[in-house]
Amino acid sequence: MATGQDAAIPLSVPRGASAYAPPRLWPRVGNAAAVGIVLFWLFPVYWIVLTSFKPIVEINSAIPKFVFTPTLENYTHLFTKFQFTGVLLNSIVVTTTTCAIVMVLGVLAAYALARMHVPGEKHIALWILSLRFLPPIAVAIPFYIQWQNFHLLDTYAGLILVYIAFNLPFAIWLLRGFLADVPAELEEAALLDGMSRLQILVRVVVPIILPGLASTAIFVFVFTWNEYLMALMLTSVRAVTVPVQISKFVMPYTILWGDLSAAVVIQLVPMLAVVFLLQRHIVRGMTLGAVK
Amino acid sequence: MTGSESLTLDLAVRPPSKAGWQRRERLIAALFLAPGMIYLFAMAVYPTVYSLWLAVHNYTIYRPDLVSYAGFDNFNDLLNNEVFSGSFFVTVIYSAAAVALELVIGIAVAVLLDRKMRGIGLFRTLLIVPVLISPVGMGLTFRYILAPTYGLLTYLCHRVGIPTADWMASATWALPAVILVDVWQWTPFVALILLSGMQSVSVEVVEAAELDGLSEWQKLRRIVLPLIRPVLMVVVLIRLIDSIRVFDMVFVLTRGGPGTATETLSVFSYVTGFTEGDMGSASALAWVMVVFVNILVFFFLRALSKAEG
């Protein structure tokens, strides 16, 4: 059963206790342990957030401090010295464009696979999903060579083209699952009304699967926002994304922990919004539909 | 007269026959599917094939004009290369240790969080946070915590009197440290999915087990875990495949060092291709991974089909 708290924050994460959950001998000890393990697991995140507000002198001090006068100097330094606004903008442009294109291509393909009797659709769908597991390094080298020839290195387009390919398999698979859940009667009625397939997709189906669309888009967003390997290889100056810039704070003889921690926190902020937006579908998305 | 006219109009709007309608449907399906499929062929399949072409050629990044056919030389060189066997070994240890720990701790955390408690939903949600941080961010956060002079863990060890090391620079400790970070990032992922699986176990089954007088541990071992086996398989395979391909976390923590102590196959391939410029060997290496990963993907797809029912 959902408790009052659960209802206040409608979560996707599993609710209540399972049938299996044993009657607790020491419920308080168990409760404390459950809370304790989560807080313990979040400690590194807390620590990096704390570090981002520390004065530079405290950051490299041999006695780590939990209490200090918080300052924004790491953040101002990050934006004034390292032009972080530009980097942030790169990430935002690349991520949102990728999301938009993946969703359009993904919905069309997924709809055909889920609804239109494509011969061998199950095999096609599984093959598409298998592309999600391609080792990035295997395609990174060909992309590097080709982008060099096409002058696409260090451009938005170069990154976006690759990211679409990386996210499309996963998106098609997830969307196909969401579409399969829509009752077919609605579309049959629309077909009888003389609507075309495209009209049905846009006017009937998409509004119904909007939550599924949103969570698929958010997953694409997370993967693209956090991607490192391709961005590292395919960008150098102009199109550098947030993860690449963060890793650049590790310099040959020093690590700029102040700027680094501030950048990590800024990168994390949209993810926290995601946590609360993803809600209903997070487990389904993470298991590629194995758990609904 | 008017009646028959409207009938013809009606027929004109609708495809005349069932066969015709089906043909049209198939055409539309193909049109819907084509953009995505063409894209994937051009941007995923073609690069993979191109990578295979590179793997059988001598190709250096500095003189692409000097490309020459190499046959299986790149693969043969790998087999005789100690760094490759070392890297292979590192990857196997990394994946096996990380996934085993994530599974064991994940089950424990799932059981702990599987309870009725005010606000438990909030704590479950918070547990997603480590999964959503970029591996780069997570890796570097731990690099700060494990840093030799000012790291928190080092400081705490000093206070308690445990001997410390420059973890990331130590041939003994670097790999365990990198595995620790992987475990930190992905255990919540495993735990949350298993928790969902546990919730799908029906009340009747559990009550029957209770009537049989099974202990809590027996219920978990003999009833619940076998029942959620399909989900368990899916999670383990996703984690195995992803950990075999691991790059970013290792790269920001150690760059594969010290020496080659943490050089996983992806990092080794990156170094070979981009630092040494030997794109042919790097591609051969990448293809070894493609083959291994695809064997696991085969089992994964089977497990997924089963889990979906």
Instruction: Give the separation between CA A27 and CA B116, rounded to whole angstroms.
Output: 9
Q: Given CB atoms, is B224 within the 8 Å cutoff of chain A?
A: yes
- Nearest chain A residue to B277, by CA: A141
- For A250-292, what is each residue's pLDDT tens digit? 998 899 999 999 999 999 998 888 777 766 666 677 777 767 6
Q: Given CB atoms, is A264 within the 8 Å cutoff of chain B?
A: yes
pTM for this prediction: 0.89
Q: Given CB atoms, is A290 within the 8 Å cutoff of chain B?
A: yes
Q: Given CB atoms, is A170 within the 8 Å cutoff of chain B?
A: no
| Cα end-to-end distance, chain B, whole Å | 56
Percent of chain A at pLDDT exceeding 70: 89
| Cα end-to-end distance, chain A, whole Å | 18
Cα-Cα-Cα-Cα torsion B33, B36, B42, B43, nearest 10 degrees, comes to -160
**pLDDT above 80: residue A15:** no
What is the phi-psi region of residue A17: left when phi exceeds 0, alpha when psi lies from -120 to 50, beta otherwise? beta
- Nearest chain A residue to B241, by CA: A133
| pLDDT band for position A5 (cuts 50, 70, 90) | very low
If DSSP codes are grouped into helix, strand and coil, which group holds residue B147?
Answer: coil
Mutate to test the interface with B, among A26, A59, A201, A287 (most CBs of B within 10 A): A287
Q: Which helix (H) or strand (E) holds B68?
A: strand B68-69
B120/A45 touch (CB, cutoff 8 Å), yes or no: no
CATH topology of domain B73-308: MetI-like fold (1.10.3720)
Mutate to test the interface with A, among B46, B48, B87, B113 (most CBs of A within 10 A): B113
Identify whether the C-beta of residue A286 lies closer than 8 Å to the C-beta of residue B193.
Answer: yes
**CB nearest to B149's CB, from A51, A62, A249:** A62
Which residues, in sequence order, are bridge partners of residue B57? B69
- For B286-308, what is each residue's pLDDT tens digit? 999 999 999 999 999 999 888 87
- For A200-229, what is each residue's pLDDT tens digit? 999 999 998 988 898 889 889 999 999 999
Please report the pLDDT score of residue B309 as a whole number: 66
Please report the pLDDT score of residue B225 as a whole number: 92
Measured in angstroms, the CA of A108 and the nearest CA of chain B are apart by: 5
**CB nearest to B112's CB, from A33, A134, A286:** A33
Domains and CATH numbers, chain A: 20-74 (no CATH), 78-286 (1.10.3720.10)
| pLDDT band for position B9 (cuts 50, 70, 90) | very low
Token pair, residue A158, equals 């170069």
Preceding omega of B258 cis (within 30 degrees of 0): yes
Nearest to B54 by CA among B282, B296, B290: B282
Instruction: Give the separation between CA A259 and CA A249, rounded to whole angstroms.
Output: 7
Please report the pLDDT score of residue A227 as a whole number: 96
Measured in angstroms, the CA of A6 and the nearest CA of chain B are apart by: 6
pLDDT top residue among B120 and A250:
A250
| pLDDT band for position A47 (cuts 50, 70, 90) | very high
Q: Given CB atoms, is A236 within the 8 Å cutoff of chain B?
A: no
- For B44-102, what is each residue's pLDDT tens digit? 999 999 999 999 999 998 888 888 898 899 999 998 998 999 999 999 999 999 999 99
Please report the pLDDT score of residue B146 as a whole number: 94
B172 DSSP assignment? T
- For A97-141, what is each residue's pLDDT tens digit? 999 999 999 999 999 999 888 888 889 999 999 999 999 999 999
Ranges of each domain in chain B: 2-55, 73-308
Instruction: Give the separation between CA B303 and CA B234, rounded to whole angstroms.
Output: 6
- For B211-259, what is each residue's pLDDT tens digit? 888 888 888 898 899 999 988 998 999 999 999 999 999 999 999 989 9
B273 vs A contacts (CB less than 8 Å): 137, 141
Identify whether the C-beta of residue A113 lies closer than 8 Å to the C-beta of residue A172.
Answer: yes
Q: Given CB atoms, is B162 within the 8 Å cutoff of chain A?
A: no
A228 vs B contacts (CB less than 8 Å): 134-136, 247-248, 251-252
Q: Given CB atoms, is A254 within the 8 Å cutoff of chain B?
A: no
Q: Given CB atoms, is B279 within the 8 Å cutoff of chain A?
A: yes
Q: How far is CA A232 from the centre of its chain?
A: 18
Which residues, in sequence order, are bridge partners of residue B278? B60
Please report the pLDDT score of residue A24 as a whole number: 57
- For B160-202, what is each residue's pLDDT tens digit? 988 888 889 999 999 999 999 999 999 999 999 899 888 888 8
**pLDDT above 70: residue A17:** yes
B55 vs A contacts (CB less than 8 Å): none
User: Residue written as tokens 């495209």?
Assistant: A198
Give the ipTM. Answer: 0.89
Mutate to test the interface with B, among A141, A152, A187, A216 (most CBs of B within 10 A): A141
- For A26-37, what is each residue's pLDDT tens digit? 778 888 999 999
Q: Given CB atoms, is A48 within the 8 Å cutoff of chain B?
A: yes
A116 vs B contacts (CB less than 8 Å): 25-26, 28-29, 32
**pLDDT above 70: residue B7:** no
Nearest to B140 by CA among B168, B162, B160, B105: B168
Residue type, B161: G
Identify whether the C-beta of residue A143 lies closer than 8 Å to the C-beta of residue B47.
Answer: yes
Please report the pLDDT score of residue A283 as a whole number: 67
Please report the pLDDT score of residue A281 as a whole number: 64
- Nearest chain A residue to B191, by CA: A283
Residues 6-25 of A with CB under 8 A from B: 6, 9, 11, 13-22, 24
Query: Of the ranges A183-187, B78-82, B156-160, B267-271, which is most confident?
Result: B267-271
User: Residue written as tokens 């400081």?
Assistant: B155
Please report the pLDDT score of residue A279 as a whole number: 60
Sign of CA dihedral B208, B210, B215, B216: positive
Please report the pLDDT score of residue B128 as a whole number: 87
**pLDDT above 70: residue A10:** no
Please report the pLDDT score of residue B2 as a whole number: 43
pLDDT top residue among B18 and B49:
B49
Q: What is the mean pLDDT of the segment spanning A88-105?
A: 97
What is the phi-psi region of residue A98: left when phi exceeds 0, alpha when psi lies from -120 to 50, beta otherwise? alpha
A134 vs B contacts (CB less than 8 Å): 44, 48, 290, 293
Q: Calculate ∠ Cα A206-A209-B130, nearest 5°.
A: 125
Residues 49-68 of A with CB under 8 A from B: 51, 59-64
Mutate to test the interface with B, among A6, A58, A118, A133 (most CBs of B within 10 A): A133
If DSSP codes are grouped into helix, strand and coil, which group holds residue B277?
Answer: coil
B125/A9 touch (CB, cutoff 8 Å), yes or no: yes
Instruction: Give the separation between CA B130 and CA B134, rounded to whole angstroms.
Output: 9
A240 vs B contacts (CB less than 8 Å): none
pLDDT top residue among A253 and A23:
A253
Residues 22-41 of A with CB under 8 A from B: 22, 24, 27, 30-31, 33-35, 37-38, 41
